[in-house]
Amino acid sequence: MTFKYTVEIETDNIFESEGSFGDAIVDAIAAQIIAGENIKEKVENKINAQIDKTVTESIDKACNDMMVNLLDRTIYVTDRYGDEKESGTIREIVKGRFEKYLTTKVDKNGKDERYGGIPRAEWFAKNIIEKEMNEFTKRTVKDIKAAVESKLTDELQLAVGNEIVNSIGVKNIIDRLQLPEKK
């Protein structure tokens, strides 16, 4: 670790003061260090930052190594009587059980079924697609219904208004009045 520290020394009074030139330089440097920034605090901060970085990296590496060793260690799964049912690494056992879970045949409700049925992975996909399609269909029907109702309401109001005007003979009344035209 390297520290660079710059010091300004006034040379006007060095030769007039008592003592040697070296004492004057040491006194000037000491005065600036005391008056200036706290070097001890800077050094502590840099050391702490380096320690934090090193410790964090070491802990991360150790945890990663432990997890890899744990997942790659051979284990033996036994039944309640202590008889070995299955052995392998945790990765292999989890992979096998996950594969078995997804390939197990299920009924239309997703419950295990011995005879017939479809694989659970297919059942999941089918249900997700069905759910999304139902939601999309409901939204689309709602939007179309709102648009049709709005258009029908507007057209119906126009038709009823025209019928009322024709029924009471507004045009005949206007024609009889024959208002004078503006010149």
pLDDT digits (tens, 9 = 90+) for 35-82: 655 666 777 788 888 888 899 999 999 999 998 888 888 888 888 888
Residue 66's Cβ-count burial label (10 Å; 0-12, 13-18, 19+) is exposed
For residue 110, how many C-alpha atoms fall within 13 Å in the half-sphere facing its CB?
A: 9
Confidence of residue 115 (pLDDT cuts 50, 70, 90): confident
Helices 120-168/90-103 angle, 10° precision: 50
Residue length of the chain: 183
Structure tokens at 62: 């150790």
Structure tokens at 80: 């309640």
User: Which segment of 26-40, 57-71, 76-90, 125-139 scores lowest on mean pLDDT?
Assistant: 26-40
Place of tokens 């991360």: 60
Across the chain, where does the E strand assignment appear?
74-78, 84-89, 105-106, 118-119
**Mean pLDDT score across all residues of the chain:** 80
pTM of this structure:
0.44
Domain ranges of the chain: 73-120, 122-177
Determine the distance from the C-alpha atom of residue 46 to the mean position of all C-alpha atoms in its chain, rounded to a whole number.
33
